[in-house]
Structure 1
Amino acid sequence: MKSLDSWHFFKVMKKYPVALNYNETIRATLLNESNDFLKMSGLKKTDIRIHHEEFISFTALIDKIRKDHLGSVVFIDLWGAWCGACLYDIKHKKALGMDKIFEKYKVQTVYLCTLSPKKEFDYYINKLDMTGDHYFFSREQKQEAKGKFNVYAYPHYMFLNKNGELINDDVPRMVITTKGVARLNQDFIDLVKRLSE
Structure 2
Amino acid sequence: MDILTTRYERMNMSEKPKKFEKKDVLYLVITGLALVIIILLASWFIISNNSGATTEETGTMAKVSSSASSSSTSKYVEGKDYTVKYSNDGIVAKSSIDEALSYGGLNNFDDDIDKDNGNYAKFEFDFNKTKNVIVEKMYDNGYTNNEPTAIVAYDLSKKEMVTGHIGRLYYDNQPLVYTWTNNTVQ
TM-score by length of 1: 0.23
Higher normalized contact order (CA 8 Å, seq sep 6+, divided by chain length): 1
TM-score by length of 2: 0.24
Which of the pair has more CA radius of gyration?
Answer: 2
